[in-house]
């Protein structure tokens, strides 16, 4: 069972294949890939699956409105995991979708015990991060809300609840607190808000595979309650493991990730300590080549820090041929990460006031 609030998830290709089959997630085939080749996550095959992405493609072709929805739980600073979905929503916004971005403060209360008040400065910080990454907040291109302040999403929670039984929630999520169930129903409101505020239209929600239970619940309730709405679609990306090689980035293991607010020295140390796909020694690396597919340095570059596909492909090739050594590559990666973080922090500083204004927080 996939647990959207848990600390473990699929770790290998077999797990992903099994989940795709079990829950009916479709492959991103070559036709879709070519149509969306501008999207870096699809081009680089980080997004591997979808539900109803074809509806969005139709809307793009017919120049009809469509939306992309995502959000963040304000429970801590941005890190590589949270920025993956942020970058995905930005990519879809650039392709013409109106971006709906939710600050899930009800969920951070239910899951982490962070009060709405405590969540405010975190939410401002998180929103400034996504603005610095490139989200365009103009009202015709984006709608941003806090769950606790948005009556529509709470209203949806009550409306659809009539159709929800304890057994259904148990089957989807396993036994959880009632608060987590409620936050999942509020999230149903988050996902269908574009269609409530505008008109029925295709909506795509970029998520990690661990969030699929929310998508399935929302699609089921939309089918039964909002009969004229499009079933919300989703794209699924591979989850980034901990950079130290642990199963998942997790707060209890600070070497498994770095945040965008962390001191540069600490980030550099973590990048240089990342798990690589390198061999025991230089001689073996030259003879056998490295394994970029199992290397967190390569993955960090692929997900975030190398914009140029040709550079990435060249590094992959030189690695497998044994021409690129891990020490050298780690140093290059650390340089790129630090350059990015420095520029990002500068941009972000200037956007804090904008984030406050957008969230109506003093």
CB of 333 to ligand SF4, least distance (A): 7
Q: Which residues pair with 207 in a beta bridge?
A: 236
Pattern 275-314, binding to ligand SF4, x per CB under 6 A?
-xxx-----------x-x--x-xx----------------
Contacts with ligand SF4 by CB under 6 A: the residue count is 13
326 contacts ligand SF4 (rule: CB under 6 A) = yes
CB of 306 to ligand SF4, least distance (A): 11
Angle at 318 between CA 312 and CA 320, to 5 degrees: 105
Nearer to ligand SF4, 143 or 257 (CB): 257
State which of positions 328-357 bind ligand SF4 (CB under 6 A). 329-330
Q: First CA to last CA across the chain, in angstroms?
A: 41
Nearer to ligand SF4, 38 or 45 (CB): 45
Residue 194's alpha-carbon distances to 40, 64, 199, 247, 314, in angstroms, are 24, 14, 7, 35, 41
The Cα 269–Cα 150 span in angstroms is: 41
271 contacts ligand SF4 (rule: CB under 6 A) = no
The Cα 303–Cα 220 span in angstroms is: 31
The Cα 296–Cα 288 span in angstroms is: 19
Pattern 50-89, binding to ligand SF4, x per CB under 6 A?
----------------------------------------
CB of 330 to ligand SF4, least distance (A): 6
Residue 11's alpha-carbon distances to 45, 54, 97, 240, 241, in angstroms, are 16, 28, 31, 9, 8
DSSP string, 222-244: HHHH-TTSPPPEEEEEPPP--TT
Nearer to ligand SF4, 239 or 295 (CB): 295
CB of 33 to ligand SF4, least distance (A): 24
Query: Given candidates 191, 203, 324, 359, which one binds ligand SF4 under the rule CB under 6 A?
Result: 324
Q: Which residues pair with 79 in a beta bridge?
A: 259
CB of 83 to ligand SF4, least distance (A): 21
Pattern 225-264, binding to ligand SF4, x per CB under 6 A?
----------------------------------------
The Cα 146–Cα 123 span in angstroms is: 9
The Cα 293–Cα 3 span in angstroms is: 25
Nearer to ligand SF4, 220 or 323 (CB): 323
Nearer to ligand SF4, 53 or 325 (CB): 325
CB of 276 to ligand SF4, least distance (A): 4
Report the 10 Å Cβ neighbour count for 186: 23
State which of positions 3-32 bind ligand SF4 (CB under 6 A). none
285 near 279, Cβ under 8 Å? yes
CB of 319 to ligand SF4, least distance (A): 3
CB of 123 to ligand SF4, least distance (A): 36
Nearer to ligand SF4, 2 or 295 (CB): 295
The Cα 21–Cα 338 span in angstroms is: 40
Pattern 150-169, binding to ligand SF4, x per CB under 6 A?
--------------------
Sequence-distant (6+) residues with CB within 8 A of 165 are: none
β-pairing verdict for 67-72 and 47-51: unpaired
User: Which burial class, exposed, middle or buried, applies to 168 when counting CB atoms under 10 A from its CB (0-12, 13-18, 19+)?
Assistant: middle
CB of 326 to ligand SF4, least distance (A): 3
Query: Which spans of this chain sit near ligand SF4 (rule: CB under 6 A)?
Result: 276-278, 290, 292, 295, 297-298, 319, 324, 326, 329-330
């Amino acid at each position: 069972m996939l647990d959207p609030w848990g600390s473990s998830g699929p770790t290998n290709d077999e797990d992903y294949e099994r989940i795709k089959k079990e829950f009916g997630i479709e492959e991103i085939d070559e036709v879709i890939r070519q149509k969306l080749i501008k999207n870096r996550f699809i081009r680089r095959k980080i997004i591997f699956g979808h539900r109803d992405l074809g509806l969005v493609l139709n809307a793009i072709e017919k120049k009809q409105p469509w939306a992309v929805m995502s959000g963040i739980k304000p429970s801590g600073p941005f890190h590589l995991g949270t920025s993956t979905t942020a970058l995905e929503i930005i990519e879809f916004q650039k392709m013409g979708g109106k971006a709906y971005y939710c600050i899930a403060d009800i969920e951070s209360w239910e899951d982490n015990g962070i009060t709405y008040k405590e969540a405010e400065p975190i939410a401002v910080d998180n929103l400034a991060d996504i603005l610095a990454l490139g989200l365009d907040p103009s009202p015709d291109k984006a709608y941003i809300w806090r769950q606790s302040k948005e009556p529509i999403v709470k209203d949806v929670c009550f409306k659809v609840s009539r159709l929800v039984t304890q057994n259904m929630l148990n089957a989807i999520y396993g036994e959880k607190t009632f608060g987590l169930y409620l936050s999942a129903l509020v999230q149903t409101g988050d996902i269908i808000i574009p269609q409530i505020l505008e008109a029925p239209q295709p909506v795509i929600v970029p998520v990690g595979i661990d969030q699929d239970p929310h998508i399935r619940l929302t699609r089921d309730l939309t089918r039964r309650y909002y009969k004229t709405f499009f079933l919300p679609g989703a794209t699924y990306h591979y989850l980034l493991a901990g950079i130290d090689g642990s199963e998942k980035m997790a707060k209890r293991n600070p070497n498994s990730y770095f945040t965008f607010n962390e001191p540069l020295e600490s980030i550099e140390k973590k990048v240089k300590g990342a798990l690589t796909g390198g061999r025991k020694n230089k001689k073996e690396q030259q003879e056998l080549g490295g394994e970029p597919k199992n290397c967190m340095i390569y993955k960090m570059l692929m997900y975030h820090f190398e914009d140029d596909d040709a550079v990435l492909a060249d590094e992959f090739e030189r690695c497998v041929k044994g021409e690129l050594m891990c020490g050298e590559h780690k140093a290059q990666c650390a340089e790129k990460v630090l350059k990015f973080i420095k520029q990002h922090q500068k941009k972000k500083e200037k956007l804090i006031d904008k984030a406050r204004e957008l969230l109506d927080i003093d």
